[in-house]
Amino acid sequence: MKKQTNKAGQDNIGLQALKESEARFRTIVLWSPDAIIVTDAEGKIEYMNPAAEGVFNRKVESFIGKDFGLPLVDGESTEIDIFRPGKDPGVGDMHVVETEWLDKKAHLITIRDITERKKAEEQLKAIMALDLQRKTELLEISNKELEAFSYSVSHDLRAPLRSIDGFSKAIMEDYSDKLDEQGRNYLCRVCTACQQMAQLVEDMLMLSQINRSEMRRKQVDLSALAKSIADEFMQNEPQRKAEFVIAPSITANGDGQLLNIMLHNLLENAWKFTGKHPSARIEFGITKKEEKTVYFVADDGAGFDMKYADKLFGAFQRLHNVEEFEGTGIGLAIVKRIVSRHGGKVWAQGETEKGTAFYFTLN
């Protein structure tokens, strides 16, 4: 008898705990700010909490017994965002979490109205877009001002440089007999420095003009341009033992004048940095990278250490001193700017005393 009494007491305790659990669950469901929906296995709505009225802007009773209206999962939980612009009046964007329940005899669905969250996200995106646009505009203004300054300074330097060079040559011609060898050497160095500075000015002007000039796209025969440039180098220095290997029929859509400047700089670079070798091989051709046409100019000259590759295309960045190889340090910066204007990329690979290959793409 005592055992039966104990069992009955345990049953009462278990029943009381169940009732308390159900009461807590009911309170949570009733006061939840999220819509909570229970459907049967076929998706017919059996229960909706009061918050569902706020989410769907309709009375709960109008949903009971009707299809939920969204595909339900089979054997797993899922959550999705549903965007409903301009649909049911008062019904906004929703985040839906759905899972099977009670041994697959029901589905438990929670829905949160995320309209305000989406508005906040869109506002943040708009603010960030405006901020980026403003920064871009300021950068463009700064670049234009810098280009205008470079153009103005470079242009204004031409006249005094011509005067210095001209008077130095006049002194050399008219008074060379009155100067000793050291004096004549000094004047020669002045003339050489003027010519180097003049070339730097011309390169700076070209660099500033590349972004300012209007693009005139057409189909350009790059092979013909490369051959013409190679012939020019060979005629100027016929004593050089150099072989140009130019692949035939290479064409590209772009601005002919700019592409000619770019090729001239790349081939001149190869010509210059093979000059200290007894013989040279310079190649212009194409290859493929990820199904995209890649053009290249390669040589077997001085090469460079790859750890300095990031410096190659910066203005005034030189990997060799001017006494070893002459130049202004602007040529490859011009190449990069022209390639960029054509929507492409340029990069280089090399090894010291084993040559360099410049690769570029054009869009």
Q: What's residue 196's pLDDT?
A: 75
In total, the chain counts a number of residues equal to 363
Note whether 356 and 256 are same-domain residues: yes
Note whether 226 and 191 are same-domain residues: no
Q: What's residue 86's pLDDT?
A: 47
Give the predicted TM-score (pTM) of the model. 0.53
Note whether 61 and 103 are same-domain residues: yes
Structure tokens at 271: 């010509």
Say how far apart CA 136 and CA 247 lie, in whole Å.
40
> Is 138 among the domain residues?
no
Distance (Å) of CA 71 to CA 75, 94, 96: 13, 15, 11
Structure tokens at 11: 């049953």
Note whether 290 and 253 are same-domain residues: yes
The residue with tokens 């690769």 is 359
Q: Which residues 6+ apart lie within 8 Å of 66 measured at CB?
A: 44, 45
Structure tokens at 213: 């000039």
> Is 266 among the domain residues?
yes
Q: What's residue 357's pLDDT?
A: 95
Taking alpha carbons only, the member of 266, 258, 205 closest to residue 233 is 266
Say how far apart CA 34 and CA 52 lie, in whole Å.
7
> Is 319 among the domain residues?
yes
Q: What SS3 class is residue 72? A: coil
> Is 123 among the domain residues?
no
Note whether 222 and 324 are same-domain residues: yes
Q: Which residues 6+ apart lie within 8 Å of 42 measured at CB?
A: none
Q: pLDDT tens, position by position, for the chain (363 residues)?
A: 555 556 666 667 777 777 777 778 778 788 888 888 888 888 888 888 888 887 777 787 888 888 876 666 565 667 666 665 444 544 567 777 777 666 667 888 888 877 777 888 888 888 888 778 887 777 777 667 666 666 666 667 777 888 888 888 888 888 888 889 898 888 888 888 888 777 777 777 777 777 777 889 999 999 999 999 999 999 999 999 999 999 999 999 999 989 999 999 999 999 999 988 999 999 999 999 888 999 999 999 988 888 888 888 876 566 555 555 565 678 888 899 899 999 999 999 999 889 999 999 998
Give the other-Cβ count within 10 Å of 37's Cβ: 22
Domain boundary among 62, 91, 113: 113
Structure tokens at 275: 């000059």
Domain boundary among 211, 229, 264: 211
The residue with tokens 């203004």 is 141
Q: What's residue 18's pLDDT?
A: 74
Q: Do residues 93 and 81 make contact, with C-beta atoms less than 8 angstroms apart?
A: yes
Q: With b meaning 16 or more CB within 10 Å and e meaning fewer, what string describes 41-75?
A: eeeebeebbebbbebbeeebeebeeeebeeebeee
Say how far apart CA 249 and CA 198 lie, in whole Å.
36
> Is 130 among the domain residues?
no
Q: What's residue 363's pLDDT?
A: 86
Structure tokens at 287: 């290859």
Domain that holds residue 19: 1-26
Q: What's residue 316's pLDDT?
A: 59
Q: Which residues 6+ apart lie within 8 Å of 318 measured at CB?
A: 327, 329
The residue with tokens 């969204």 is 70
Phi-psi region of 255 (alpha: psi -120 to 50; beta: other; left: phi over 0): beta
> Is 320 among the domain residues?
yes
Strands 242-246 and 280-289: parallel
Q: How many domains does the chain have?
A: 4
> Is 132 among the domain residues?
no
Taking alpha carbons only, the member of 92, 61, 66, 93 closest to residue 80 is 93
Q: Write the CATH number for 222.
A: 3.30.565.10
Q: What's residue 142's pLDDT?
A: 66
Dihedral sign from CA coordinates of 136, 138, 140, 142: negative
Q: What's residue 234's pLDDT?
A: 94
Amino acid, res. 196: Q
Note whether 250 and 155 are same-domain residues: no
